[in-house]
Chain A
């Protein structure tokens, strides 16, 4: 490993030198490394740093010798500057490591977040003219719905009469049982219209697109497979075209392989024609659409054009103009809810870098001021200011490059951790990782840091009054007032920014805690859930489906260790089936803000299995929904609130599905249950109802099992039972409700904890900076302090004075930071889940933590000052 790394490093050198002496160089380096290993990791790091510098400067020198033979001195001078700088820095071992470490922290955080932001926002899609890609959807502002979904007849109408788009395509998610006779697998895919790839302008990986004829109802079944499936099932064989794939028991001919970059929605592994029927009435709004703008057409123009194309639909079947189409850049849809979080993280990380840089600046400035005397002497004996500046510059450059390298490495690692933490929500085309741009950004930040914060104090140090500095009585006793002010300002700014980050991080953590402890309204522990789908071909009617489900439920119930089994069409955090329902005697008003009702078909055992709380009436019983019984329904608390004053009053009332003909049957409310947080712990619940499963048995269901012990232990036996009942069926989305819950919270968890980690980093940086500066200032005052102690000042007074001057800055910084964070908290408010931006506990805790940190940072230097030996300090002068 180390040999290989060193060899890679040596590639910087000209080939002739490397080939002639490569082995000897490696041997010498390994010998050095071996020595260093005895002295611990710091020495190993130093050895590598040496090696990098050595090879780098030699490569530079060699190249310069060849290309500019007339001016070799200059280059070798920079080389010797760098080496001398290294020697100096290594002597000030700990201080150098501190600076490098602090820069690395800031840069690593920056690289990590920039990689994420880059992947999501900046990197172009892998499609031609990606900026012209948009998505189209429908919204119903009056019903409080941002995303309704695309209705196929609407889409058909748009496509026929729009003028703004080159091409439009509609797609929807589907999933299939893919079986080869012996084993069944659930594969998710998408139904796409035939022009889907034309919109993206990518050709199929293999074979051809769907034809317009194949994209019609009752056409021959054809399929395009994703590259993953192609590899997995067919070993990537090119003769896959024309072979067939059994989807839900129906043979589909493979006509092409989908290009991998176009595989979205996320997770789609096979693609079938959408085959929509524009003339069928009452189709759902489930699809999504993408389109490519004509050149020069803006998103706003396109939306106007689409509204024009939509007008006949309003005319024909939506006179209230409830639903209307809209157009957005494609990236906006894919970035989605990451936007606020990514923005907050980007700001946080930029602040962190500023803190890190302020810290380095403070330490460098302190050093530069402390070395005024040395520099003055060197100027006096004939060193040019230019050469001194160059020397200082070399030191700063070294520190920044080392910090930058360490930061890039650590940042690369952090990106891996981050991406692993949010795998599901991240779209496939967004690729993260260290690319040239990210590395370039890091290097830019590093060099800017070196120049801005390292060099500027250095100039000040060299330019300052040399005669004053030379004088031993004055030189080295106290920093100039201007220097002190700058130092205090830097430390104060560090604490202010750290306060801002701590308060924001604290608010997010508190919000996270509140979200996490929100009552989901159902039992999450010891519950296993999985989904199944009965293919239409084998289970064509409701009787056969119901018979299968009841047999399955019976068998599962008999398993040892199972306390309850239930079945439902949509488990919490799962899917959404929305429709309109009206209560008897209460016609729905047109401006009801929340008219869409979540409806689910549930088995009798579902309620007990998930531990839903009954508010009034009863749960379903086994007979509910069977023919001959009255139609019964269980409503949730939100539905009850919208229609009836209390739960008890709701029982016995009736409701029905809303229809234009007013002839749908009435259902009688038999029970009212507490809301569950179906859409996630942080999302509000809408009115919802449960219909009895036997009434209209669907082919897709989720089963929930309440186990006495570990629910995952039931997976194998459940699979075996299904296999036994029908080997063509597959279990999918197998997870415990606890896992489902955590998954729904993962994005929030990731950004909340990241911000908290940044805040702690900022705190540590501020602590280090304050410690460094106070120590430096105290050491500069050692002569004055020595005199005071010699004249009889008490140690405690001296300590207090040192402490006071350090703490004043901390307090001012924290106060400023807390004030600023009051404003900043408001920007975060959409992420705060009801926590006030000026939450007292968070403000107090952050402020207190910072003050304690400031105290800690200043106590040690103050204590050291109090214990100075006056004789020693005065003799030293």
Chain B
């Protein structure tokens, strides 16, 4: 399993709260990252596709909405068990990076000052 890209991370994070459709995921990701992760349409849906392919999220079956053209349907996604694992792994990795970086920067500025 490779490292998660930050957009994928935030998508998983958004879906960890509840099942959502694309626009809601984008809004949630932006909110969760305090505006840092702004997902634009192509990367959002591209990422949703690739996450689905990897089996980390899945599309919910169509509900009552049964319009004939599939592209007009709002698609809802939910995070899978493997997705949770990936999210947790990445969170741990990030936490350790943050810890390391904090320690380094403190030492350096201590030296210089």
A28-B23, A472-B112 known; A23+B40 contact, CB < 8 A: no
Give the nearest-CB partner of B69 in chain A. Answer: A23
CA distance A27 to B71 in the complex (A): 12
Q: Is the CB of A80 within 8 A of B71?
A: no
CA distance A17 to B75 in the complex (A): 13
CA distance A51 to B23 in the complex (A): 15
Q: Is the CB of A28 within 8 A of B22?
A: yes
Q: Is the CB of B108 within 8 A of A380?
A: yes
Picked from B5, B41, B43, the residue with its CB within 8 Å of the CB of A24 is B41
Q: Shortest CB–CB separation between residue B7 and chain A, in angstroms?
A: 9
CA distance A58 to B26 in the complex (A): 16
Q: From B6, B26, B45, B108, name the one whose CB has the most chain A CB atoms within 10 angstroms.
A: B45
Give the nearest-CB partner of B23 in chain A. Answer: A28
Q: Is the CB of A24 within 8 A of B46?
A: no
Within 8 A of B (CB), among A8-37: 10, 13, 17, 19-29, 31-32
Q: What is the count of residue pairs linking A and B with beta-carbon distances less than 8 angstroms?
A: 82
Annotate B1-23 by CB proximity to A: 1 below 8 A, 0 otherwise.
Answer: 01001100000000000000111
Q: Is the CB of B45 within 8 A of A17?
A: yes
A50-B40, A51-B40, A472-B112 known; A25+B45 contact, CB < 8 A: yes
Q: Is the CB of B23 within 8 A of A27?
A: yes
Give the nearest-CB partner of A84 in chain B. Answer: B6
What residues of chain B lie closer than 8 Å to A13, measured between beta carbons? 42, 46
A17-B49, A73-B2 known; A381+B105 contact, CB < 8 A: yes
CA distance A53 to B43 in the complex (A): 10
Interface residue? A59 (CB, 8 A): yes
CA distance A377 to B108 in the complex (A): 9
Interface residue? B50 (CB, 8 A): yes
Q: Is the CB of A57 within 8 A of B43?
A: yes
Interface residue? B101 (CB, 8 A): yes
Q: Is the CB of B41 within 8 A of A28?
A: yes
Q: Shortest CB–CB separation between residue B55 and chain A, in angstroms?
A: 16
Q: Is the CB of B71 within 8 A of A22?
A: yes
Interface residues on B, range: 20 to 34
Interface residue? A76 (CB, 8 A): yes
Interface residue? B99 (CB, 8 A): no
Picked from B46, B71, B72, the residue with its CB within 8 Å of the CB of A62 is B46
Interface residue? B70 (CB, 8 A): yes
Picked from B5, B43, B48, B49, the residue with its CB within 8 Å of the CB of A54 is B43
Q: Is the CB of A58 within 8 A of B43?
A: yes
What residues of chain B lie closer than 8 Å to A788, measured between beta carbons? none
Interface residue? A250 (CB, 8 A): no
Q: Is the CB of B5 within 8 A of A76?
A: yes
Interface residues on A, range: 35 or more
Annotate A53-95 by CB proximity to B: 1 below 8 A, 0 otherwise.
Answer: 1110111011001000000010010011001000000000000
Picked from A55, A470, A471, the residue with its CB within 8 Å of the CB of B42 is A55
What residues of chain B lie closer than 8 Å to A21, measured between beta carbons? 22, 41, 45, 48-49, 71, 75
What residues of chain B lie closer than 8 Å to A26, measured between beta carbons? 41
What residues of chain B lie closer than 8 Å to A471, measured between beta carbons? 112
CA distance A73 to B46 in the complex (A): 15
Q: Shortest CB–CB separation between residue B46 and chain A, in angstroms?
A: 4
CA distance A20 to B75 in the complex (A): 10
Annotate A359-387 by CB proximity to B: 1 below 8 A, 0 otherwise.
Answer: 00000000000000000010011000000
Q: Is the CB of B50 within 8 A of A65?
A: yes
Give the nearest-CB partner of A21 in chain B. Answer: B45
Give the nearest-CB partner of B46 in chain A. Answer: A58
Q: Is the CB of B71 within 8 A of A19?
A: yes
What residues of chain B lie closer than 8 Å to A55, measured between beta carbons? 41-42
Interface residue? B61 (CB, 8 A): no
Q: Is the CB of A17 within 8 A of B70?
A: no
Q: Shortest CB–CB separation between residue B1 and chain A, in angstroms?
A: 13
Q: Is the CB of A23 within 8 A of B72?
A: yes
What residues of chain A lie closer than 8 Å to B48, measured between beta carbons? 21
Give the nearest-CB partner of B22 in chain A. Answer: A24
Q: From B40, B41, B48, name the one whose CB has the most chain A CB atoms within 10 angstroms.
A: B41
Give the nearest-CB partner of B48 in chain A. Answer: A21
CA distance A200 to B110 in the complex (A): 83
CA distance A61 to B75 in the complex (A): 23
Give the nearest-CB partner of A382 in chain B. Answer: B104
What residues of chain A lie closer than 8 Å to B50, measured between beta carbons? 65
Interface residue? B86 (CB, 8 A): no
CA distance A472 to B46 in the complex (A): 43
Q: Is the CB of B41 within 8 A of A470?
A: no
A31-B23, A80-B5, A381-B105 known; A24+B112 contact, CB < 8 A: no
Q: From A17, A24, A58, name the one whose CB has the most chain B CB atoms within 10 angstroms.
A: A24
Q: Shortest CB–CB separation between residue B28 and chain A, in angstroms?
A: 13
Q: Is the CB of B42 within 8 A of A54?
A: yes
Interface residue? B44 (CB, 8 A): yes
What residues of chain B lie closer than 8 Å to A19, measured between beta carbons? 71
What residues of chain B lie closer than 8 Å to A17, measured between beta carbons? 45-46, 49
CA distance A380 to B6 in the complex (A): 23
Q: Is the CB of B26 within 8 A of A28?
A: yes
Interface residue? B113 (CB, 8 A): yes
What residues of chain B lie closer than 8 Å to A10, measured between beta carbons? 42
Q: Is the CB of B71 within 8 A of A20?
A: yes
What residues of chain A lie closer than 8 Å to B45, measured between beta carbons? 17, 20-21, 24-25
Q: Is the CB of A24 within 8 A of B49?
A: no
Q: Shortest CB–CB separation between residue B92 and chain A, in angstroms?
A: 19
Q: Is the CB of A61 within 8 A of B46?
A: yes
Q: Shortest CB–CB separation between residue B11 and chain A, in angstroms?
A: 14
Q: Shortest CB–CB separation between residue B72 and chain A, in angstroms?
A: 6
Q: Is the CB of A28 within 8 A of B44?
A: yes
Picked from B26, B41, B71, B101, the residue with its CB within 8 Å of the CB of A51 is B41
Q: Is the CB of B2 within 8 A of A58?
A: no
Q: Is the CB of B22 within 8 A of A470?
A: no
Interface residue? B74 (CB, 8 A): yes
What residues of chain B lie closer than 8 Å to A24, measured between beta carbons? 21-23, 41, 45, 74-75
What residues of chain A lie closer than 8 Å to B70, measured between beta carbons? 20
Q: Shortest CB–CB separation between residue B99 and chain A, in angstroms?
A: 13
Give the nearest-CB partner of A13 in chain B. Answer: B42
CA distance A76 to B101 in the complex (A): 24
Annotate B80-104 by CB proximity to A: 1 below 8 A, 0 otherwise.
Answer: 0000000000000000000001001
Q: Is the CB of A381 within 8 A of B104?
A: yes
CA distance A65 to B2 in the complex (A): 14
What residues of chain A lie closer than 8 Å to B2, measured between beta carbons? 73
CA distance A19 to B75 in the complex (A): 13
Q: Shortest CB–CB separation between residue B14 and chain A, in angstroms?
A: 14
Q: Is the CB of B41 within 8 A of A59?
A: no
CA distance A19 to B69 in the complex (A): 10
What residues of chain A lie closer than 8 Å to B6, measured between beta carbons? 80
What residues of chain A lie closer than 8 Å to B23, measured between beta carbons? 24, 27-28, 31
Q: Shortest CB–CB separation between residue B66 and chain A, in angstroms?
A: 16
Interface residues of A (CB under 8 A from B): 10, 13, 17, 19-29, 31-32, 50-51, 53-55, 57-59, 61-62, 65, 73, 76, 79-80, 83, 377, 380-381, 470-472
Cβ contacts A to B, 10 pairs, < 8 Å: A13-B46, A21-B49, A21-B71, A24-B45, A25-B41, A28-B40, A83-B43, A377-B108, A380-B104, A472-B113
Known: A24-B23, A54-B43, A61-B46. 8 other contacts (CB 8 A): A10-B42, A17-B45, A24-B74, A25-B42, A28-B23, A32-B40, A58-B43, A377-B105
User: Which 4 pairs across A and B sit closest by C-beta, in order of nearness?
Assistant: A54-B40, A25-B41, A58-B42, A21-B45
